[in-house]
Amino acid sequence: MNTLRMNVFSKFFVFITSIEELREVIADRKNFDNILILGGGSNIFFSKYFDGLIIKMGIQGKKIVYEDENFVHLEVSAGEDWSSLVEFTVSQGWGGIENLAMVPGTAGAAPVQNIACYGHNLHESLLSVDAIDISTSAFRRFLVDDCRLGYRTSIFKEELKGKYIIISILLKLTKHPVLNISYKSRYESVEDELSKVANQPYTVRDVYQAIVNIRKKKLPDISDVGTVGSVFKNPLITQQQLNNIRNMCPDIQCYPSSQLSYVDNNEIMCHEMVKVPAAWLIDDMGWAGKRHGDCGVWKSQPLNIVNYGSASPEEYIDFINMVKDEIYNKYSIDLETEIIVV
């Protein structure tokens, strides 16, 4: 039930497949000290025994609720696999979430984390989120602005954590895709990969395939290695900190806190706070590919701290702290984890 393959247990567990089942379970909530909603288990680290109820979200289904000559509004149940959903929208020729190809997890978990990669944030395609209040079983619709989506966060991860259960999301997709191929990093470029797999003019299918190829080359296969995805957030730092880092790592890239794309030095000077890639810092420190027991830093994506076999939660925590300590000692940056630790 978790892609990091941590061998942990919970006191109670239930798999739900309908809103009626969900309401039945939470009506009995007073019998449980803690309730945890589990999607695909791909962004969660079970560090210990869970003394409470885990609700595995299994509500399936997707339907068009609005369509015209330009757009499609697609309602997606929370238990739908996100990667399969992206593949489906691409097969229909609809644009909007193709850059989020192969992101593990479920549709319901996507807005909690405000998933983002390769130049696209979920909030750019999200219209609303439907949820159930755990304390009252009442239905509530959150418009995208209500969700307070930020960098790797949302109202569901902060103020309303543990108070609502997402049952579906509503996406706005376009029949006339405007392709985003601007993403580039130290390791790869969407445009470079596109040139290998397709000819211009590119299609939404081409962009999707380029992203899939990049992810397959750089990320661990969850069927072979225990992984929880990117463990650390890209740190937000001051211009002074950036200058200090550049003394040690002159080529480091950076970008404004509100963007996902790197910019030139003249533009970055206009911003008081900037983000730098944590993967770059870990790599520059010489930790890419380093292993200690069954824990290690994935060589081609240093944000992935993986479980090669039977690492215990304690060993995994120790390894994460080793990486954090090394980063702090060299760059005076305290890396923040973006995964959910239970």
Name the one residue in this structure whose structure tokens are 């900190």.
241
Beta bridge partners of 88: none
Coil, strand or helix: which one is 303? coil
Q: Residue 125: how many CB atoms within 10 A of its CB?
A: 23
> Which candidate in 42, 154, 168, 230 is catalytic?
230
Kind plus residue range of the DSSP H or E element containing 63:
strand 62-67
Check if the beta carbon of residue 25 is closer than 8 Å to that of residue 16.
yes
Pairwise CA distance, residues 99 & 204, whole Å: 9
What distance in Å separates the CA atoms of residue 94 and residue 100, rounded to the nearest whole number?
A: 13
Helix (H/G/I), strand (E/B), else coil: 287? coil
Cα–Cα dist 61/299, whole Å = 37
For the question of residue 338 being annotated catalytic, the response is yes
Pairing type for strands 44-45 and 340-341 reads parallel
What is the helix (H) or strand (E) element at residue 120, kind and residue range? strand 120-121
Give the containing element (helix H, strand E) for 116.
Answer: strand 116-117
**Catalytic pick from 75, 188, 193, 338?**
338
Pairing of strands 10-16, 50-57: parallel
- Exactly one of 83, 128, 152, 188 is catalytic; which is it? 152
Q: Count of CB atoms within 10 A of residue 187's CB? A: 15
**Inter-residue contact 59 to 79 (CB < 8 Å):** yes
Q: Is 99 helix (H, G, I), strand (E, B) or coil?
A: helix
Provide CB contacts within 8 A for 71, sequence distance 6+.
172, 173, 174, 175
Give catalytic status of residue 267 as yes or no: no
For the record, the structure tokens of 71 come out as: 């757009």
191 a catalytic residue: no
Tell me the three state secondary structure of residue 130: strand
Question: Catalytic site residues?
Answer: 152, 230, 338
